[in-house]
Amino acid sequence: MDKNSTLVITGAAGFIGSCLVEYLNYRGYTNLLLVDDFNRQDKIPNLKDKKFTEKIEREQFFEWLFHNKPSIAFVFHIGARTDTTEFNYAIHQHLNVEYSKKIWNYCTVHNIPLVYASSAATYGTGEFGYNDDHQIVNVLKPLNPYGVSKNEFDKWVLHQENKPSFWAGLKFFNVYGPNEYHKGRMASVIFHSYHQVRKNGYVKLFKSHRPDFTDGEQLRDFIYVKDVLKVCYWFMLHQPTSGLYNLGTGQARTFNDLVKSTYAGLDMEANIQYIDMPEDIRDTYQYFTEANMAKLRSVGYMDTFYSLEKGVNDYVRNYLSKDKYF
């Protein structure tokens, strides 16, 4: 794709979106239209020193498109309400479903290829597995309104006769890495672990409330944001078969492993204390997630993923310890 091409990134001031802006800059793309709610002061550092053409307020974007009629080569729709503890579904419906439909329809009418952020939260407890198979989307049972909204959009997409020239919905698993400083409670466990170590000298992890898992041995597929960026970029360049794709490492790891890796990045011995899980999330807590990555491999993506140890080490040493942004 030509380096002068106009690319759109929604959610551009957020965690993954701002990292994607930096990665595209690194690859030589600076003609970027950034879309987000730019009123949040705590997101401002995410875009410092990055190159782009214009920042457009999220709720004004479609009006801006109507008046400016840009020639867009690709859209990365990363923006979403990602708070899994937000139980007002109307918020998720507006941002994650209705807004996404408008993005899809614009890309369809104007023949613009699209990558959008779906989520592993769509899989619920995993009773149907973690396979990015279109046949199971209709029966999935997400555990919170965020996951429901993501799955509702996936279901809608799969029923559309009119589609963009290429599209991919990426089911992000547990993404961690720089530029999540603003995320508060929703930041990664690595982020919270690092700050707990600095403040208290120890890390708190949730106890298991299931007999088949011991404390701290709950499993997640943790993926470093730098791998997410590489995959997004690969989809832009190669545009293989359209569809839903898992985006994890394919290797579930325990929270104990994750915290030990955080301590290793600080050259310290691990000190973990186990606390009761808050009751408001106890019934909807995922004890195991692991992406089946066969579909992405089958369409030609061959790069290896960061191991948990290497990813956390890079994040802790080169970003968290230095209060540095990507």
d(CA 39, CA 278): 31
d(CA 164, CA 57): 23
Asked whether 260 and 270 are in contact (CB, 8 A), the reply is: yes
Name the pairing type of β-strands 253-254 and 219-220: antiparallel
Quick one: which of 13, 23, 94, 14 has its CA closest to 55? 13
Residue 237: strand pairing partners: none
Question: 296: how many CB neighbours lie within 10 A of its CB?
Answer: 23
| Residue listed under structure tokens 């579909």 | 295
| Residue listed under structure tokens 């939260």 | 121
Quick one: which of 76, 80, 66, 78 has its CA closest to 5? 76
Which is it for the CA torsion 15, 18, 21, 22, positive or negative?
Answer: negative
Backbone angles phi, psi at 61, to 5 degrees: -60, -45
Distances (CA, A) of 312 to 10, 226, 265, 289, 296: 26, 11, 7, 19, 23
Whether residue 183 lies in the annotated active site? yes
d(CA 23, CA 26): 5
Q: Which of 130, 146, 194, 319 is catalytic?
A: 146
Q: Which of 51, 141, 155, 183 is catalytic?
A: 183
Residues annotated catalytic, as ranges: 146, 183
